[in-house]
Amino acid sequence: MENSTKTILVVSAHAADFVWRAGGAIALYASRGYKVRILCLSYGERGESQGAWKQPGMTIERVKEIRRAESTRAAEILGAEVRFFDAGDYPLQASEETIQEMVTEFRLNQPEFVLTHAPLDPHNYDHPEASSITMRSRVYAQALGYPAPGKAIGAPPVFFFEPNQPEQCAFQPQVLLDITPVFDTKRKAMESMETQVHLWEYYTDLSKRRGSQAVRNSNRKGIKYAEAFQRPYPQVTEELA
């Protein structure tokens, strides 16, 4: 049975990516009554769990358990639901089954829009892979002849969230989303990611900088925090205002 509530899909390469890069957008739309479904392609068990690996006697299965718990807690704080694919980390490699499941997610949820990674990141090749998986799945989900449950989707807009080092990823902040009303929620979700404490202040500072840029580009002086996004497809509109 297809979902009747307006839904947003967020595709995250690793267990924490959605928190740092789109936690504000997730919390904002969840507060507006949208169903936000996060698809984590991996736990980030090899490349993004340094804090866990420093503990004596750590194993990869234990790291996955830690990351799953952190990510689940963060999603709950943000008001979202999360699904884990366990498709590998360093490298992330989606199987045909993963793609099939992703297409099914698109069709059954019929998302209003999609958030995922930018297609370039020389510091982490799993991120572009997640972007590619997302974009391919979206296209396949549009094809009437593709064998997957649910009806073919339309053309939901896609927004790439900001990479850790945008200047080296050809990222253009084309959209600045005001997340001021929900920033405290995002910060609480970030603090649930205890294996990456070093990123808490980094992404708090980034939200402040993007907030300052949002004020400058809108004269909306009440904005204090924002998240940046880039669009791969043109915006279709009847007005340029």
> What pLDDT does residue 142 have?
98
Confidence of residue 4 (pLDDT cuts 50, 70, 90): low
The whole model's pTM is what? 0.94
Instruction: Identify the bridge partners of residue 177 per DSSP, sorted by sequence position.
Output: 227
Mean pLDDT score of the chain: 94
Name the band, by pLDDT with cuts 50, 70 and 90, for residue 5. Answer: confident
pLDDT at position 1 is 39
Average pLDDT of span 136-158: 97
- Structure confidence at residue 149 (pLDDT): 95
* pLDDT, tens digit (0-9, with 9 covering 90-100), for 195-204: 889 999 999 9
pLDDT at 173 over 70: yes
CATH number of 7-230: 3.40.50.10320
Mean pLDDT of 24-36: 98
Mean pLDDT of all residues in 109-130: 97
* Residue of 7, 235, 42 lying closest to 115 (CA atoms): 7
| Nearest alpha carbon to residue 38 among 88, 91, 77 | 77
Mean pLDDT of 137-143: 98
Q: Is the pLDDT score of 29 beyond 60?
A: yes
pLDDT band at residue 16 using 50, 70 and 90 as cut-offs: very high
Predicted pLDDT at 53: 79
CB 78 within 8 A of CB 189: yes
218: how many CB neighbours lie within 10 A of its CB?
12
Torsions phi, psi for 31 (to 5 deg): -70, -20
Q: What's the pLDDT band for 153 if we cut at 50, 70, 90?
A: very high
Is pLDDT above 60 for 47?
A: yes
Peptide bond into 91 cis (omega under 30): yes
pLDDT at 158: 98
Q: What is the mean pLDDT of residues 72-100?
A: 95
